[in-house]
Structure 1
Amino acid sequence: MPSPRVTRAANANSTNPNNRFEFMSLLTNRTSSSEPVPTRHRLSDSPVHRKDSFNSSSPAFQQQLPEEDCMKLNPSFLEIALKSLLAIDLWLTKKLGVCAREGSSWGSARPLMKLVEISGHGIPWIGGTIYCFYKSDSNAGREVILNLLFALFLDLLLVAIVKGIVKRPRPMQNRMDMFATFSVDKYSFPSGHATRAAMVARFMLKHLVLAVPVRILVVLWAIVVSLSRVVLGRHNVTDVVFGFIMGHMQFTLVEHLWLSPNALPSLFKV
């Protein structure tokens, strides 16, 4: 016995076999009229479905990410450590730059710090070393002074090369009013004053006969010159720290490349 639902459907089809045609005609007439036809949004077109379909946790979404974005989302420990060190470096540089401007907290001490800056400049040291070389009477003294002059020129060369490679800009609070600057001095890393102070201090402590108070003054001079670079806002803290370490390494290099009187005999006959 057929079910009542099937029977009603068959009766409806038998009474109006063209019901599908009438429905299409009605839909066509309604579309041609001025009334808008309601449309049914597909589930895939809904904003919620689109958001779910591009969920960041899905494997397909992760495959579409570029490689550099994946590295940013999953930074390595080294990258986090370097960024943290850079943030601390910039913060300390800004806090310690108390003489960077006349209106800074210690702005009145800026002229004194600039005198300390000149005491560590390369031009006075090179000029004074050349003068002492030609005024020296002993060959042993000339040998020591000659190697100090060699160390000063080596310092200028190595610092210029590193600055040209790294090209780190100077701190924002710095004023370019330094004594006798060159084109490479617009870069900050490393501090040439710190390298020169560390190298010269070690050189003098080893090759010159100095009293204990003078030796202490030499060490204090190297430290004060290095600190003045941050206080004046010339360099970042890491520029000075690396420069101080680089100065010690340059002294070791000079010791290995020590120039003897036999290497340059004509100079010692002057």
Structure 2
Amino acid sequence: MDKRYLLLVLGGISFGTASIFIKFSDLSPGAITFLRFLIAGLVLSLGRVKLKDVISFLPYGLLLEVHMVLFVESVYTTSISDATVLVSTSPIFALFLSSISKARPKPLEALSAIVAVAGVALMNYPLNSGEALGNALALASAFAIALYTSLLGRRGVEDPLRVTSSIYLASSIFALPLFAVEGFGRLDATSLLSLLGLIALPTLLGHTSVVVASGHVKPHVIETIGLLEPVVASVLAFFLFGQVPSTYQLVGEGIVLSSVGVVVVEGRK
């Protein structure tokens, strides 16, 4: 497998740990968002932070932060299942934004992306009616991350570590006001270990894989592979919390995995 696709698959798997780490943490959403991006950005900078680079990537940092904040708020204002399904529509938005990235989707790629989203919907069936505002926030979150990926794809990335570090630090700037309002939340060993896990896996591995692949892998393919997140989260929830998946979840997970497999194979041709 091409190393970029392998990294994206590993990144997609790592995304599935995010909800688990957040569930174990008692830190405030503002603290989690601010600290994960600040620390990850400093780690990847290797001690060489360039303010000029951070400023140049402020728009990307803003989109990434908007995606994070809108999704968290959607979870608070609608059902988790609705929020999960609606934020997973990002591959469809990426298809519509393909003119930005100039990455025209192949018919099978487009079909697989749509089928994968349907698989996520099936995993969360039956859906609750939810709240209109929360559902709108989840859709806006999906659009924000699709636009983020599409713009990165158009720009291309020559130095992934420098770019990723700059984006994370830019995101932390936009997360600072929310952190200032909410504070740390509850600080304890479990919360701190959860934060470290959140930084190491879904941030340093997951979101970094998106930047590394940008310009080389089509945005809608990147977003479709990212749908591994709910599948992995479901598996981890079974082993950690004893949450037995329903038949709908198992079938939906199979659909998502199959669609991701098709996208990876088709994208490498």
Query: TM-score, normalising length from structure 2?
Result: 0.26
Higher-Rg structure is: 1
Query: TM-score, normalising length from structure 1?
Result: 0.26
**Of the two structures, which has the highest relative contact order with CA contacts closer than 8 Å and spacing of 6 or more?**
2
